[in-house]
Amino acid sequence: MITMDLEAQKRAAAARALEFVRPGMRLGLGSGSTAKHFVELLAQRVRTGLEVIAVPTSEATRSDAERLGIALTNLDEAPELDLTVDGADEIAPDLSLIKGGGGALLREKIVASASLRMIVIADESKWVSSLGRFPLPVEVVPFGLAATRRAVEAAAADMGCAGPALLRRAKDGHAFVTDGGHWILDAAFERIPDPRSLAERLDGIAGVIEHGLFVGLAHAARELLLALGLAFAVGAGAAAQQPSANAIATAKEVITAKGAGALYSPLVSGVIERTKTVLLQSNPMLGKDLNEVAAKLHAEYASRSAEILTEVAKLYASRFTEQELKDTLAFYKSPLGRKLVAEEPIILDQSMKTAQTWAEGFSQEIMSKIRGEMKKRGHDI
């Protein structure tokens, strides 16, 4: 059920992003499961007469777009794009992103930087209080891998990021190869305290081609918009089942009790700081005034985070009865529920590291097994 809900959110976010597309636009087409929804919906519009031309960010997206009849070009022929629509693996309150889970981070960043506007489409699971739980992809050249990996881990450690950088492997056990012919290190840092500083350190490492930290993207793309499946799924659910005020209030308590409210409270301050940073980049002499204005806005808009909590509560209230919400709240207020809230983040972080370590060992086992079986058939690979 959760997967279906998230897929519905992705589809709704893609549909919302499609509303920004106008005839004659030069589009950047993102990669990944959420962006795939946008490509499919765009193709439907193209079949009804919409004329656009697009630059894909991966060979997989290129294949989908060609199959669906979307006209394609490249950045040599269209060096400036009107709009790019792409997904994200994590979105922090300051709108910094982790991307590259599908391996297309280099082309995604190039296309985003060439765009006048970018829309990031995502479901609610991609919002995090700080980046890092999703392993950070770092695209590297194969030559000197061990030295590059050591440098990446050392730079991260200096930035307060602990965790290994593991070589991503394909299904056959060999190193995953990007569309550009590079390899990827997935860095399990758990938490990245200062994404901008880490990005700068990674940029300076010989052997690193690109990384999945999209910091300052709003400035690079001139305008960053977020089409959240969550917001539009809420609207659709409310139309089908109008939740009562009591149900919404109980849902708010559930969200707070399970600790999820902490994900939304930093959004207001994050947006203010992100906007201030963008303006500072083009107006460095106005730092004092911009800081004072930002401080004023922090105080003025602090209560606005409650609006986000209300919208999320409506989502819960449209999918659970009031009694179910009360039962859920009772659980989270119980000793066992409080223990779950306290321990689950730690378990999730540790389980991710455990799974990655296990997968790397298992891939070697499978590689050995396949080679052994192939050798029996006369193939020494």
For residue 95, the one-letter residue type is: L
> At CA 217, angle to CA 216 and CA 219, rounded to 5?
70
What is the three-class DSSP state of 149? helix
Q: Which pLDDT tens digit goes with each residue over 72-109?
A: 999 999 999 999 999 999 988 777 899 999 999 999 99
Distance of CA 369 to the CA centre of its chain: 35
Q: Are 279 and 286 in contact (CB under 8 A)?
A: yes
pLDDT at residue 288 greater than cutoff 70: yes
- Residue 307 is among the residues annotated as catalytic for this protein: no
Closest by CA to 189, choosing from 212, 163, 207, is 163
Q: Are 124 and 230 in contact (CB under 8 A)?
A: yes
Count CA within 13 A, CB hemisphere, residue 290: 16
Tokens 């050249």 belong to 141
Show me where the domains of the chain are located: 2-130+217-224, 136-209, 241-333
Mean pLDDT over residues 162-177, rounded?
A: 92
Sort strands 183-187 and 136-140 into parallel, antiparallel or unpaired. antiparallel
Q: Which of 7-21, 175-189, 251-265, 330-344 has the highest mean pLDDT?
A: 175-189
- The percentage of residues in the chain with a pLDDT greater than 70, rounded to a whole number, is 90
Tokens 């378990």 belong to 347
pLDDT-derived band at 349 (thresholds 50, 70, 90) equals low
366 Cβ contact list (under 8 Å, min separation 6): 173
> In this structure, how many other beta carbons lie within 10 angstroms of the beta carbon of residue 227?
22
Q: Are 94 and 273 in contact (CB under 8 A)?
A: yes
Domain 136-209 CATH (choose: 3.30.420.310, 3.30.70.1230, 1.10.357.10, 3.30.70.260): 3.30.70.260
Q: Per-residue b/e over 294-331, b at no fewer than 16 CB within 10 Å?
A: beebeeeeeeebeebbebbbbbbbbbbebeebbebbee
Please tell me the distance from the alpha carbon of residue 303 to that of residue 3, in angstroms, as a whole number. 32
What is the three-class DSSP state of 269? helix
In CATH terms, the fold of domain 2-130+217-224 is Rossmann fold (3.40.50)
Closest by CA to 105, choosing from 137, 68, 132, is 137
pLDDT-derived band at 223 (thresholds 50, 70, 90) equals very low
Sort strands 97-98 and 213-214 into parallel, antiparallel or unpaired. antiparallel
Catalytic entry in 40, 90, 108, 324: 108
Please tell me the distance from the alpha carbon of residue 4 to that of residue 37, in angstroms, as a whole number. 14
Mean pLDDT over residues 207-222, rounded?
A: 75
Please tell me the distance from the alpha carbon of residue 325 to that of residue 192, in angstroms, as a whole number. 34
What is the three-class DSSP state of 321? coil
The tokens for 31 are: 């990669």
Q: How many helices (H) and strands (E) does the chain have?
A: 14, 12
Mean pLDDT over residues 157-168, rounded?
A: 91
